[in-house]
Amino acid sequence: MGRPKGKAGKVEADSSTDESCRAVVAPEAPSWDKIKYFTPREFTCRCDGYCDHPDVISLETVAKLDRIRDLIGKPVDVISGTRCERHNNKVGGRSRSAHLAKGGCSHAADIRCPDAAYRFAFVTAALPLFNRIGIGRDFVHVDDDPELPPDMIWTY
């Protein structure tokens, strides 16, 4: 059973939003209406409302996470999505982090991994979909930021 969708507002790209924010992985995921397991709210900055920028995550990134959720058959808990610069600094993020909304949207998510078996299943499903993966003790970072070097796996 998937995550129930909340009452989060629909996020739509405006004319100032980078084209990749509207990109999709496959025809079955062209908009938030087609995303089965996530809502826009799950990817917003966790800075307690101090930032005043629109929180937009690439739909391509979300569609890939939706696909992973289907593949592993278990909930995918987003612990960090888009970040404002203040929050990114607070959590020790890098200055060029894929969590920052560059060009109008971010391209990253950190996913809670409750145990090694979940981490293995998640990373196995993520490898063909994401070109940047960071592996932590209790989370996995995935991103497809076009401004950062591709084909990378690292540990925290």
pLDDT (tens digit per residue) in 48-72: 776 765 658 999 999 999 999 999 9
* C-alpha span between 59 and 24 (Å, rounded): 6
What are the b/e assignments for 91-111, b being 16+ CB within 10 Å?
eebeeebbbbbbbbbbbbbbb
Strand, coil or helix: 25: coil
- Structural domains in the chain, CATH included, are 26-155 (3.30.1380.10)
- Any residues with CB less than 8 A from the CB of 15 and at least 6 apart, and which? none
Q: Both tokens of residue 148?
A: 């950062």
pLDDT recorded at residue 55: 58
pTM for this predicted structure: 0.80
Report the pLDDT value the prediction gives residue 29, as an integer from 0 to 100: 39
* DSSP three-state, residue 59: helix
Paired tokens of 60: 């391509």
pLDDT tens sequence for the chain (156 residues): 343 333 333 334 444 444 545 443 334 435 889 999 999 889 988 887 767 656 589 999 999 999 999 999 999 999 999 998 889 999 999 999 999 988 888 999 999 999 999 999 999 999 999 999 999 999 999 999 999 999 999 999
- The secondary structure of the chain in percent helix, strand, coil, rounded to multiples of 5, reads 25, 15, 55
